[in-house]
Structures are given as structure tokens and as C-alpha cells.
Amino acid sequence: MQLVSKAKSFGGEQRVYRHRSEATRTDMDLAVFLPREALEGFVCPTLVYLSGLTCSWQEITMQGLPQMHAAKHGMIFVAPDTSPRGEQVPDDEHYDLGQSASFYIDSTEQPWSEHFQMESYLTKELPGLLLEALPVDEDAIGITGHSMGGFGALMLALRHPELFHSVSAFAPICNPTHSVWGRKAFEAYLGEDESVWEAYDPCLLVQERGWEGDILIDQGLADEYFEDQLEPWAFEKACRKAGVELTLRLHGGYDHYYHFIASFLADHFEWHADRLAE
Amino acid sequence: MQLVSKAKSFGGEQRVYRHRSEATRTDMDLAVFLPREALEGFVCPTLVYLSGLTCSWQEITMQGLPQMHAAKHGMIFVAPDTSPRGEQVPDDEHYDLGQSASFYIDSTEQPWSEHFQMESYLTKELPGLLLEALPVDEDAIGITGHSMGGFGALMLALRHPELFHSVSAFAPICNPTHSVWGRKAFEAYLGEDESVWEAYDPCLLVQERGWEGDILIDQGLADEYFEDQLEPWAFEKACRKAGVELTLRLHGGYDHYYHFIASFLADHFEWHADRLAE
């Protein structure tokens, strides 16, 4: 991993890295905050944050102040990009497909499959790179995310419980086989056979595979996507059926965006810090 | 003032307003955070934040999380723009003059004087608008800022102690009659007679007029502008001569930008909250 930039922040260091990815066959950028403890060489719990549609690693890194919370808990904070990027990477004229809209899965379909291999990137390639370069405690890695990234966090945790030891989400797309965003992306990336999609839907995954811990979801009630795209009640029902403990907090007046995430980010750090310390 | 946008944040509300300014003869935008107490109608202490070169009200509003700190202390947070803007407003090809580089003074020179009347805007027009529209406690208004805005905060507080009851700054331009940025701006906006400039230099102002309270300045030691443009030691010396108590904190490793401000913003809110409560 090549260091692109660094800045001191809350006694630690905010870094941006670039590296060649074998999974996506592109260069990938990511942001990493290292608390003081990590700079001193101590192995640290780590929280991975997956961003939403139209975003990159930049929004959460510059907004919401994850550095403050990560420094408080002595956690490493990793914000990967939302997709492969570049002139050679296929894209779509709409914001909800293609670059910055990977949905964090491995595509099997043309023209996406050559580069859109984000599940492999996030669960096979990136952990190895992080463990090699940084004092990440491989037994204490949590994952969270927002909207498409909240879906990604739930989906990847449920599919890779050996890798992710705690999970939470902000306004996640809970039931993508049922939502417009999810169905469009799954059809493009995974093909028309809907039975294939089921292995990526958190509502179905949690019932099929369960989850050993508990799950935290925050959702704003003034969120314009609440009803049609996010459908937290479907995940609540699925967790109840599966016997998985869910804390679903519905916040009156909060929308889908930055101020909502920032307002509750401290609670998610505390949630992960508590569980990763066990 | 016309409400442009609003979002719930930390139990309060982040708003953006637009209004026609008589001082600048343009539309002016500003960001205002109202804590829960203000939304419930209680009169609140208020902190005004002046931004640096190239910025608008947006950077501090989206970065650094002033909402968290303002909510904690029950303070209103106001981020005005850095200059008049628009096609009819003169500008310069360089970032340190013209639009987003007002230096917060009233210009007397062509072509700037028609619109660049920021001292009048910030000390005469805006306080009236805020007091009329919002539950601002007019006896508890503090001012802070960054770089050019740090200069603005010091300069305006020292020139208008009846208006601003507490003052702090992040990496301010302390001695503008001596720095390249300051001399260029003062010559353009105030003309070639350097004796006129003196009434706007914090180092000279604090010796001539004093300050009833104490002053907080944070400065990063990895700040590229530290030596040539910011010169905090000049202000330290001036305060010492003037018998004004200055807390000047020099932070090893911190640069001039966002991560530096964010890392210490909580301390500035606490500083102002303590003093405005007296």
C-alpha cells in the first residue's frame, strides 16, 4: 500500500492509501485512521465503514468525525472506496449502478464482472493488506456502513462471520431483493435468476445463517428512502424469526444524510468497542 | 432571512439561510446550528465562526462537527460566508484576494469598496438579523475563526468589544501588516497608506485597545504558514505588553487544515461556553 497523504488528528494519524488490487484489477484508494496506540505499535480493534451510493472513502472521513471516536476507543478506522473506478471500468449513467455503486458483491455478469469484485476485495484481499501493513487485531474487526454500505456491512458480516466480529448499520438497504435499488443492482451484477440474489439479502441471510452476536441499526424517520428502499421492519421481522437480537432505533426528524450519521456515530463506535473487547 | 435548507442534527437543527445584504449589496448565505434549547425558544449563547481563504460557510459546517459541541453546550453556532459573491462582485485570479478572501474588513478602494463591506456586514447588519430571527442572547456572543478567519475573529473582537464577549482563534494571521497575505489584502482593500492598516492588525489593536477577557489561540507546528504568514509569537508579545492574558497552544505534528481544527474544536466551544456564561 502506497501512502498518498497523512495528517495528524486527535493524537493519531489520518492516512489515505492507494494500492493495486488483484480483485478489482484497478488501483483502489482507502482512508485509514490510526489512533495513538496504533502509532505506538499496539495491536488495535478495527472498524470498517462502507459508504453509500455516490460516495467514496472521503465523505465519512471528512464528515462525522470518526477520528474523534476512534481515538477515544483506541480503534483503527478503515473507510474503503465504494467501487472500482477509472476510465477502463464500466459505468452507468445513473447514480445507482456502476462506479460508486458496487453493492459490495462479486459480479458474475458482463460488463461488470471483470472489475466489480468487491466482496473478494473486502473479505480476501484487503484484510491481508491491512494485517500486513498495520497493527490490526484480526480477532477484533467490526463492520458498519450507511445505506448501500449499511447493506454491505450486514451482508458481509452475515456471510463472513469468521472475519467480522461485530456489525451495525446506518439506514441500511435491509431487503434488497424487494427494493428498487437492490433489484436493479442484483439483476445487473448477478443476472436474472432471482434465486442467486437470495444469498446476498440480509433478511434472508440472517434467517438462514443466524448471527452469534447482536446487531445495531439506526434509522431516521424523516428519511425519504425509509419506506421504499430501506425497509428496516423486514429486517426486524427476520431477526425475530432467526432469534437474533436486534437493536433498531428509529429517530424522529432525522433524514438520510450526513447530519443523521454524525449524530449517532459515537454510539456505533461504543457498540463495536464493547463487543470487540469481549 | 430565507431558509434554504435544514436538517436535524444532535437533537437540534442545522439550517442554511440566504438574505439580501445592504452592506455588501449582494445575497449572503450563512449556516446556523440551533441546539434543542433554541428550538424550544430559550435564549442561547452564540458562537460566530469565520472561515479561512478559499472557504465558505460550508467547510466548518460539514467538517469538524460543530453541531456536536454546540448541542452539548446549548449554544447557537453561526458560520457566515467569507466574502460577498456573484458575477457582479469583483474578483482576483489569486485565491488570496477577492471572492472568499474579504479579510472581513470594509474596503475603501476601487474596485472592491462597493461590495467588500464585511466588517459592517458582520458587526452591524448580521447581528440585527440574527437577533430578530433567532433566540440569540445579545449579551453572550463569542467569535472564533481559522486562518484569515482567525485574524477576522481577533480583529473584530478587539474593534467591537461591545458586541463580542469572548474570542479565540485557530492558526490566525496574527500580524497582517507584516505578512504577505495581510499586506496584499490591506493594500488592495485599504489603499497604500500603511498607517490606515494599523487599525486592523491584532498585534497593534491589542496594545492600543486592550481586551477585558482572556484569549485562546491554537496553532499547529507542522503548519506550512506558521512562520511567514501566521506569526503567533508576535501576538504573544503584543498581549504580554498589553497585559492581556493569552493561552497560546502550539501543537506538534498538526498542520493548517481540517484535522487540526477538528481535533481542538471541542476545547474552543468549552472556552466560549465558560466565558459567555459569566
Give the model's pLDDT for residue B117: 98
Reported ipTM: 0.87
Return per-residue pLDDT of chain B as tens, 278 residues.
999 999 999 999 999 999 999 999 999 999 999 999 999 999 999 999 999 999 999 999 998 899 999 999 999 999 999 999 999 999 999 999 999 999 999 999 999 999 999 999 999 999 999 999 999 999 999 999 999 999 999 999 999 999 999 999 999 999 999 999 999 999 999 999 999 999 999 999 999 999 999 999 999 999 999 988 999 999 999 999 999 999 999 999 999 999 999 999 999 999 999 999 98
Q: What is the band of A278 on the pLDDT scale with cuts at 50, 70, 90? A: confident
The shortest CB-CB distance from A62 to any of B68, B254, B258 is to B258
Mean per-residue pLDDT, A13-28:
98
The shortest CB-CB distance from A259 to any of B14, B64, B222 is to B14
Provide the residue type at A181 as one letter: W
Mean per-residue pLDDT, A44-70:
96
How far, in Å, CA of B83 to CA of B154, rounded? 17
Give the model's pLDDT for residue A31: 98
Give the model's pLDDT for residue A47: 98
- Chain B, nearest residue to A263 by Cα: B10
Give the model's pLDDT for residue B278: 80
Mean per-residue pLDDT, A234-254:
96
HSE, side-chain direction, 13 A CA sphere, residue B91: 13
In the annotation, is B256 catalytic?
A: yes
Give the model's pLDDT for residue B203: 98
CB contact under 8 A, A65 and B262: yes
CB B190 within 8 A of CB B105: yes
C-alpha cell at B266: 471541542
CB contact under 8 A, A8 and B258: no
Residues 44-83 of A with CB under 8 A from B: 62-65, 67-68
Chain B CB contacts of A269 below 8 Å: none
CB A171 within 8 A of CB A152: no
Chain B CB contacts of A249 below 8 Å: none
Mean per-residue pLDDT, A75-97:
96
Give the model's pLDDT for residue B63: 87
Instruction: Establish if A257 touches chain B: CB-CB under 8 angstroms.
Output: yes
In the annotation, is A256 catalytic?
A: yes
How far, in Å, CA of A219 to CA of A229, rounded? 12
pTM: 0.92
Q: Which of A213, A145, A196 is nearest to A174 (CA)?
A: A145
Give the model's pLDDT for residue A272: 98
Give the model's pLDDT for residue A64: 87
Beta pairing partners, B223: none
In the annotation, is B96 catalytic?
A: no
pLDDT at A201 over 90: yes
Per-residue H/E/C for B58-100: HHHHHCCCHHHHHHHHCCEEEEECCCCCCCCCCCCCCCCCECC
* pLDDT tens string A147-177: 999 999 999 999 999 999 999 999 999 999 9
Give the model's pLDDT for residue B14: 98
Give the model's pLDDT for residue B141: 98
Beta pairing partners, B264: none
Query: Mutation test of the interface with chain B: which of A36, A259, A261, A264, choosing the one with the most B Cβ atoms within 10 A?
Result: A259
How far, in Å, CA of A220 to CA of A226, rounded? 8
Give the model's pLDDT for residue A218: 97
Mean per-residue pLDDT, A244-273:
96
Instruction: Establish if A249 touches chain B: CB-CB under 8 angstroms.
Output: no
**Which listed residue (B96, B223, B268, B272) is catalytic?**
B223
Please indicate whether residue A228 or residue A9 has the higher confidence score (pLDDT): A9
**Which listed residue (B147, B166, B168, B179) is catalytic?**
B147
Mean pLDDT rounded to a whole number for chain A:
97
- Computed on alpha carbons and rounded to an integer, the radius of gyration of chain A in Å comes to 17
Q: In what order do the strands lie in the sheet with B12-20?
A: B2-9, B12-20, B27-34, B76-80, B44-50, B136-145, B166-170, B215-220, B246-251
